[in-house]
């Protein structure tokens, strides 16, 4: 299994699930109430939903560029700053959907072996706190980008669910239904 075969489908499947959850929120709640969910958070010291969405997109995009060995484009800083400033400017669900769509398009445009270069290549990852992590490409994929991506996607799911959006496990793993053996879906 290659990094491309693991990360690209994972990013796409989960970002599309996140988009579907936002669609459910808009369908379930009047516009103002759905938009208010973007400021929701699980705990006072956690980022709001609007940040979680942007940071999920950021992790997918940043992971793609770092693993391809490319310089991070300015769009990464835009996502990062939007996420950090989401308390004051949460944006709209349409804005969030646009960020998800941009990220899915970027990820889907990657070559079939885009992330499969030297898995021992060194990647230094700096945080705003001054901490620097040194990884191989494989370690970066396994221990940083994938867990960080899932953290933000799962936190978004939890914020939406705690905000009253009718979500369940099937919404979280909607991509699994492509593998369902015909005739085995339980009747309601």
Segment 40-52 shows an average pLDDT of 96
Domain definitions of the chain by residue range: 3-113+121-179
End-to-end CA, the chain: 37
The label of the residue with tokens 């230094």 reads 124
Structure-token pair, residue 41: 């958070």
> Side-chain half-sphere of 77: how many Cα atoms within 13 Å?
4
- Are residues 10 and 142 in contact, defined by beta-carbon separation less than 8 angstroms? no
The rounded distance, in Å, linking the Cα atoms of 72 and 3 is 19
Closest CA to 159 of 51, 82, 60, 80: 51
- Are residues 143 and 135 in contact, defined by beta-carbon separation less than 8 angstroms? yes
Residue-wise pLDDT for 158-172, tens only, equals: 999 999 999 999 999
pTM: 0.93
Closest CA to 8 of 55, 59, 64, 56: 64
Closest CA to 23 of 96, 109, 119, 124: 96
From the options 1.10.10.10, 3.90.1300.10, 1.20.120.450, 1.10.3210.10, give the CATH code of 3-113+121-179: 1.20.120.450
Instruction: Give the rounded percent of residues in the chain with a pLDDT score beyond 70.
Output: 100
Three-class DSSP category at 125: strand
Distances from the Cα of 79 to the Cα of 39, 104, 118, angstroms: 17, 14, 28
Give the chain's length.
188
Q: CB-based contacts of 29: which residues, under 8 Å, 6+ apart? A: 37, 164, 165
What pLDDT, on the 0 to 100 scale, is given for residue 30? 83
Residue-wise pLDDT for 140-161, tens only, equals: 999 999 999 999 999 999 999 9
What pLDDT, on the 0 to 100 scale, is given for residue 187? 83
What pLDDT, on the 0 to 100 scale, is given for residue 1? 85
Q: CB-based contacts of 28: which residues, under 8 Å, 6+ apart? A: 34, 164, 165, 166
């Amino acid at each position: 299994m290659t990094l491309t075969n693991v990360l690209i489908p994972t990013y796409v499947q989960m970002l599309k699930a996140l988009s579907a959850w936002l669609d459910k929120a808009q369908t379930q709640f009047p516009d103002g109430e759905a938009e208010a969910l973007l400021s929701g958070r699980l705990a006072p010291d956690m980022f709001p939903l609007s940040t979680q969405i942007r940071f999920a997109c950021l992790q997918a995009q940043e992971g793609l560029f770092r693993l391809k060995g490319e310089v991070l484009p300015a769009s990464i800083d835009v996502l990062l700053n939007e996420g950090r400033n989401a308390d004051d400017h949460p944006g709209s669900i349409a804005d969030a959907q646009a960020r998800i769509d941009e990220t899915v398009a970027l990820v889907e445009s990657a070559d079939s072996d885009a992330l499969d270069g030297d898995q021992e290549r060194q990647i230094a990852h700096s945080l705003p706190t001054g901490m620097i992590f040194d990884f191989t490409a494989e370690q970066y994929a396994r221990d940083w980008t994938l867990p960080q991506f899932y953290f933000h996607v799962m936190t978004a799911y939890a914020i939406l669910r705690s905000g009253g959006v009718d979500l369940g496990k099937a919404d979280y793993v909607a991509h699994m239904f492509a593998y369902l053996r015909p005739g085995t879906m339980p009747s309601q």
